[in-house]
Amino acid sequence: MTESGIASPTRGVESYIRQVFAENAAITGDDLFADGMTLAMVIGRSPRMTNSIDLMEAFARTANAVRKEYGVRVRLPALPLDTSTTTVLAVFLEEFDRQGRGAA
């Protein structure tokens, strides 16, 4: 929420990204974004993923959903498999903000 009591647009995007990525990974959001969860762990726990290509496809599907819902094209940099999911979420949001300002 902002000081005016209006929900922050980024907060809504964060919830949306969490939900869509969790659906793409077939892991609950609470588990997916738990402390210490790395991308390698996501691949190991997801019934839909067997390798990093599957992970990249899940990111692409999530980014495509964000583009359709919010009109902002998000491109993630290459991230090592020991990156935490919370760090990935932060990078996703930073890129959303950066691209959103450029589109405005």
Q: What is the pTM of this model?
A: 0.84
Using CA atoms, how far apart are residues 47 and 43, in angstroms rounded to an integer?
Answer: 8
Q: What pairs with residue 38 in β-bridges?
A: 84
Is the Cβ–Cβ distance between 54 and 43 less than 8 Å? yes
Within the chain, strands assigned E span: none
Q: What is the pLDDT of residues 45-96, one digit of tens each?
A: 999 999 999 999 999 999 999 999 999 999 999 999 999 999 999 999 999 9
**Burial class of 3 by CB neighbour count within 10 A (0 to 12, 13 to 18, 19+):** exposed
DSSP H/E element including 77: none
List pLDDT tens digits, range 26-48.
Answer: 999 999 999 999 999 999 999 99
> In the chain, what are the domain boundaries?
9-90
AA letter at 21: F
